[in-house]
Amino acid sequence: MLYFQDLMPEKIGSATTLYANTSRVGWIIAGSVDGVMVEIWSYHALFWLAIG
């Protein structure tokens, strides 16, 4: 959050909102990608991806 606030020092509230919204968008995108991976391969692929 501090990174966004440093980028926009004159608009601290907007920077905080931007940070919060990008986090939520990331969760939505990650959930969608996970669902596609499970449909194509299996849920095991998620664990292999997490392991590296």
Report which DSSP code applies to 41: S
Phi (first) and psi of residue 8, to 5 degrees: -130, 65
37 close to 45: Cβ distance less than 8 angstroms: yes
Q: What is the pLDDT of residue 40?
A: 94
Residue 15 CB coordination number (10 Å): 19
- pTM here is 0.59
Q: What is the pLDDT of residue 7?
A: 83
- Mean pLDDT, contiguous 10-residue spans, the chain (52 residues): 84 90 92 92 90 87
Q: What is the pLDDT of residue 13?
A: 92
Give me 1's structure tokens.
């959050």
Q: What is the pLDDT of residue 29?
A: 96
